[in-house]
Amino acid sequence: MIRHAGWSLAVLWPLLAGSVQADDQLVRPTIKANRWQEDWSVLKDPALRTQPLDNLKYIPLSAANPYTYLSLGATLRERFEMNDASGFGVRDVPRDRYLIQRFQVHADLHLNEHWRLFTQLEDVRAYDKTTIGGADQNRVDLRLAFAEYVKTFNAGTFKARAGRQDFAFDLQRFISSRDGPNVRQSFDALWADWETQQWRFIGIASQPVQYQDGRHFDDKSNSDARFHMLRVERLVGGTNELSAYYGVYERSAAHYLDADGEETRQLLDARLGGAAQGFDWDVEAMLQRGSLGSKTIRAWAGGSRTGYTFD
């Protein structure tokens, strides 16, 4: 999304989440942009339930197993934007002022140490916006709903998720949860990964959710769009992160200004991030090839972020 000669003001309130504080032995979880990544099982210790609404963050469901519990939460994001000369001088477009709002509620049900069910509903609206696009508004719909299984072995940890979920990698240059616009991107996907102290292997088969705003609960995914990926991560030289992935994106009956037909793109990406002696870096490169109808796709991209921190 491009904004020209404009500005925005955003306020994010994670509701019912509690604050972050340290304990001598345990640390309360931090609030995350992806609410499904939070783990409130530490509140099984009554001594840590010190903040308002902690009784909603950890609702015990079994006296025999403290890892069987329900956690509730909500997030409200309000953002006011004003765009001036959004037509870039080519078209006479009046100044546009509007409020965009994202309201989400979620329930995180932990059946035991291994199984959980996570569900998140959302109501996303754009008030007084002149032109509403697909990423601006999605009124009363299902955003996330997945089952997750986690099992730790001596050699590593296995994780699997099935259902509607979201994911993003690295600095989100090429695979992003799309948090900037009002409507985030979700996927109906199967996810599996194996993690050790040094390695992580990830496999994903997914269909991007197609957002619609004609009525409530009308979002869907179908086989017209598919994204699959195999990814490997490795810690090198201590804490430096080296990662690479191979991805395939396919779309049926794709339409562009100069091409139509079946679209297939193959992506190869590599990234190195780390820090040493005050310097920090994140370097990433991507190659892409494929076809669109009778035409050939060739593309590449790269990005880097480096810095130095003074003592």
Q: Is the per-residue pLDDT at 12 higher than 90?
A: no
Pull the structure tokens for residue 163: 């259902």
**pLDDT of 150-170, one tens digit each?**
999 999 999 999 999 999 899
Task: Say if residues 243 and 233 touch (Cβ distance below 8 Å).
Answer: yes
Cα gap 190→31, rounded to integer Å: 25
Residue 281 included in any domain: no
**pLDDT of 135-144, one tens digit each?**
999 999 999 9
pLDDT of residue 5: 38
Residue 241 included in any domain: no
- At 130, is the pLDDT very low, low, confident or very high (cuts 50, 70, 90)? confident
* Bridge partner residues of 13 (DSSP): 76
Is the pLDDT higher at 184 or at 88? 184
- At 18, is the pLDDT very low, low, confident or very high (cuts 50, 70, 90)? very low
Residue 256 included in any domain: no
| Among the ranges given (25-34, 205-214, 287-296), the one the predictor scored with the smallest mean pLDDT | 25-34
Q: Specify the DSSP element, H or E, that contains 47.
A: none
Cα gap 15→296, rounded to integer Å: 48
Cα gap 124→108, rounded to integer Å: 21
Cα gap 56→107, rounded to integer Å: 10
Task: Say if residues 203 and 191 touch (Cβ distance below 8 Å).
Answer: yes
CA separation, residue 230 to residues 65, 247, 307 (Å): 36, 6, 30
Q: Is the per-residue pLDDT at 87 higher than 70?
A: no
Residue 255 included in any domain: no
Cα gap 78→53, rounded to integer Å: 22
Q: What is the mean pLDDT of the chain?
A: 88
Q: Is the per-residue pLDDT at 309 higher than 80?
A: yes
**pTM of the entire structure?**
0.86
Amino acid at 287: L
In three-state secondary structure terms, 6 is strand
pLDDT of residue 16: 47
Residue 203 included in any domain: yes
First vs last C-alpha separation in the chain: 38
**pLDDT of 36-58, one tens digit each?**
999 999 998 888 888 888 899 99
- At 25, is the pLDDT very low, low, confident or very high (cuts 50, 70, 90)? low
**What is the number of domains present in the chain?**
1
Q: Is the per-residue pLDDT at 67 higher than 50?
A: yes
- At 214, is the pLDDT very low, low, confident or very high (cuts 50, 70, 90)? confident
Cα gap 135→208, rounded to integer Å: 13
Residue 137 included in any domain: yes
**pLDDT of 103-120, one tens digit each?**
999 999 999 999 999 999
DSSP conformational letter for 57? H
Cα gap 160→115, rounded to integer Å: 10
**125 lies in which domain range?**
6-222
Residue 252 included in any domain: no
Task: Say if residues 41 and 66 touch (Cβ distance below 8 Å).
Answer: yes
Residue 134 included in any domain: yes
Pull the structure tokens for residue 282: 């994140």
DSSP-derived secondary structure for 256-276: -SS-EEEEEEEEEEEEEEEEE
